[in-house]
């Protein structure tokens, strides 16, 4: 198979984890006789530095002309004081909007060998396997008006949370479709006791649910959901929710697996190529130290192989290789217990490659 991949390393640990993931993908290409062409492009802080904009037109064009997109992370203290339209994060948000990457799938699975790495008790997280389906191109991230102004002498800031019925419908449908091929249970998370947008959300969920009679579903308020994730995480199968709730709940959920550095994601497009990225950020506190956990990005590649290219065997081999590495006790600092030896980004990556190459094709 021959595919082109737009590669957007971004900032901080972004370039480190992307480099690691592509080294692994090179191994997949060799082992399974595929050709992956990488087309590098700038986004975020690096793009601001080089092109005075967080999302250059060339980057957008490169993404549109590729079969899939791999992204590291954007942002960092260097760009934190810039006006909002010039922030690195704006580049990512514009990319999501431009390519209509409306469905962000964030699977949360606990590896057996990492049960001890989570701050939660092992018996509580054993068997955790759910997916957060996060709406990614609407809600308070994009609503207008969005401004700062003075009302008489009072300084104020406005953000707007808007959802159209159509936007809710398409993401909820994704949730139900996914549940159909999983354990057939949807938990729709909202704040319908306060927000009008959540009340519309609930109505739409009730309607869409009728089309999927074999899937059971429920509504859950987001504050309760945040608590239930810790109390009984094995309860969940598919959690579908709006943009900001999904952002927050997925960082929380990542700790069930032991580290934010473990969670991959796929942002599926309504119109063109989809984007694959770890859920974590640019981690400025460890950038440049060869310390970042590359597994979230490597797992994101596994999602790309499976969802975008239909390469199930390759994706499975990758998951298996990751599991073997963890089983051997090889892990980056974020997953290691205090006082226990840990491995560098590169060392973990090389181990994944080593494990991959021992899988017979």
Q: Which residues bind ligand IPM (CB under 6 A)?
A: 75, 89, 92-93, 247, 279
113 known ligand binder: no
Find which of ligand NAD, ligand IPM, Mn ion, none residue 93 binds, CB within 5 to 8 Å per kind: ligand IPM
> Shortest distance, CB of residue 197 to ligand NAD, whole angstroms?
23
8 A C-beta contact, residue 234 and residue 128? yes
The HSE-up count of residue 192 (CA atoms within 13 Å, CB side) is 17
247 catalytic, yes or no? yes
Cα angle 281-178-68, degrees, rounded to a multiple of 5: 50
The HSE-up count of residue 141 (CA atoms within 13 Å, CB side) is 21
Residue 343 binds ligand NAD, judged by CB under 6 A: no
Contacts of 145 (CB under 8 A, 6+ apart): 158, 160
Q: In the complex with Mn ion, which residue's Cβ is closer, 247 or 308?
A: 247
Residue 9 binds ligand NAD, judged by CB under 6 A: no
223 catalytic, yes or no? yes
174 known ligand binder: no
Q: Long-range contacts made by residues 225-231, C-beta under 8 angstroms, separation at least 24?
A: 225/187, 225/189, 225/249, 226/252, 229/253, 229/256, 230/120
Look-up of token digits 């460890």: 286
Q: In the complex with ligand NAD, which residue's Cβ is closer, 72 or 233?
A: 72
124 known ligand binder: no
78 known ligand binder: yes
Q: In the complex with ligand IPM, which residue's Cβ is closer, 28 or 138?
A: 138
8 A C-beta contact, residue 182 and residue 111? no
Residue 258 binds ligand NAD, judged by CB under 6 A: no
299's tokens: 């797992």
Helical spans, DSSP H, in the chain: 14-32, 45-51, 57-64, 88-98, 122-125, 165-180, 196-209, 222-231, 243-254, 295-303, 312-327, 345-357
> Shortest distance, CB of residue 14 to ligand NAD, whole angstroms?
7
Q: Cα-flanking dihedrals φ and ψ of residue 138, to 5°?
A: -135, -160
319 catalytic, yes or no? no
8 A C-beta contact, residue 93 and residue 31? no
251 catalytic, yes or no? yes
Find which of Mn ion, ligand NAD, ligand IPM, none residue 260 binds, CB within 5 to 8 Å per kind: ligand NAD
49 catalytic, yes or no? no
3-state secondary structure of 100: coil
Residue 247 binds Mn ion, judged by CB under 5 A: yes
Residue 74 binds ligand NAD, judged by CB under 6 A: yes
83 known ligand binder: yes
Catalytic option among 159, 184, 185, 251:
251
Binding site for ligand NAD (CB under 6 A): 13, 17, 73-76, 89, 92, 260-261, 277, 280-286, 292-293, 296, 334
Residues labelled as active-site residues: 141, 191, 223, 247, 251
Residues tagged in the binding site annotation for Mg(2+):
223, 247, 251
Per the annotation, binding residues for substrate are 96, 106, 134, 223
Interaction site with Mn ion (CB under 5 A): 247
């Amino acid at each position: 198979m021959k595919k082109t991949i737009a590669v957007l390393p971004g900032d901080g640990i972004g370039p480190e984890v992307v480099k690691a993931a592509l080294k692994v993908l090179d191994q997949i290409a060799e082992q399974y006789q595929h050709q992956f062409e990488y087309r590098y492009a700038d986004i975020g802080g690096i793009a601001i530095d080089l092109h005075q904009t967080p999302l250059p037109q060339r980057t957008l064009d490169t993404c549109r002309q590729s079969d899939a997109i791999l992204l590291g992370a954007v942002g960092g203290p260097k760009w934190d004081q810039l006006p909002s339209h010039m922030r690195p994060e704006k580049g990512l948000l514009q990319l999501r909007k431009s390519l209509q990457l409306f469905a962000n799938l964030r699977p949360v699975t606990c590896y057996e060998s990492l049960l001890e790495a989570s701050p939660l008790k092992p018996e509580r997280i054993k068997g955790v396997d759910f997916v957060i389906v996060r709406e990614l191109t609407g809600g308070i991230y994009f609503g207008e008006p969005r401004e700062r102004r003075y009302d008489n002498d009072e300084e104020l800031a406005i953000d707007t949370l808007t959802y159209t019925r159509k936007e809710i419908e398409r993401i909820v449908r994704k949730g139900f479709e996914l549940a159909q091929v999983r354990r057939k249970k949807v938990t729709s998370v909202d704040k319908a006791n306060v927000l009008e947008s959540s009340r519309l959300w609930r109505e739409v969920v009730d309607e869409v649910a009728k089309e999927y009679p074999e899937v059971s579903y429920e509504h859950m308020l987001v504050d309760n959901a945040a608590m239930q994730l810790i109390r009984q995480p094995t309860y969940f199968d598919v959690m579908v929710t709006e943009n900001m709730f999904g952002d927050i709940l997925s960082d929380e959920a990542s700790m069930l697996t032991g580290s934010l550095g473990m969670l991959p994601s796929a942002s599926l497009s309504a119109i063109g190529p989809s984007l694959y990225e770890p859920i974590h950020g640019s981690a400025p506190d460890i950038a440049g130290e060869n310390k970042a956990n590359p597994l979230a990005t490597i797992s994101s590649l596994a999602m790309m192989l499976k969802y975008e290219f239909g390469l199930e065997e390759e994706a499975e081999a990758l998951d298996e290789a990751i599991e073997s590495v963890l089983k051997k006790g090889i892990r980056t600092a974020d997953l290691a217990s205090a006082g226990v030896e840990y491995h560098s980004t590169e060392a973990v990556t090389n181990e994944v490659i080593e494990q991959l190459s021992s899988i017979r094709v």
